[in-house]
Amino acid sequence: QKEVEQNSGPLSVPEGAIASLNCTYSDRGSQSFFWYRQYSGKSPELIMSIYSNGDKEDGRFTAQLNKASQYVSLLIRDSQPSDSATYLCAVTVSGTYKYIFGTGTRLKVLA
């Protein structure tokens, strides 16, 4: 059974701080990794994709991948109250067209 694990939170950070969200996965063959943001009552929205080890930056967001440790993280710099949402980590299942999602980390940015 392939798994993706995230701390459910809530993770509370003050406005302007760095929020750090973590995700571990069990499938060593996974090739593609994604972070989605989901506001309450809405559908998941893609924030970042990462495919190789290291960091990938896009605006205030940085995704980090370490395949040896089977670990993916998302850093949000200068956190804003509008970043308050649930963040879902998703990983592809090797040899298939399937994706597995973690249960999500709820982030609260306090003004």
Partner 1 sequence: NAGVTQTPKFQVLKTGQSMTLQCAQDMNHNSMYWYRQDPGMGLRLIYYSASEGTTDKGEVPNGYNVSRLNKREFSLRLESAAPSQTSVYFCASSDPAGLNQPQHFGDGTRLSIL
Interface with partner 1: number of residues (CB under 8 A): 22
Residues 63-102 close enough to bind partner 1 by CB under 8 A: 88, 90, 92, 97-102
- Residue 104, interface with partner 1 (CB under 8 A)? yes
Residues 9-48 close enough to bind partner 1 by CB under 8 A: 31-32, 34, 42-46
Helix (H), strand (E), coil (C) string for the chain: CCCEECCCCCEEEECCCCEEEEEEECCCCCCCEEEEEECCCCCCEEEEEECCCEEEEECCEEEEEECCCCEEEEEECCCCHHHCEEEEEEEECCCCCCEEECCCEEEEEEC
Question: Which residues in this chain contact partner 1 in the complex, by CB under 8 A?
Answer: 8, 31-32, 34, 42-46, 49, 51, 88, 90, 92, 97-104
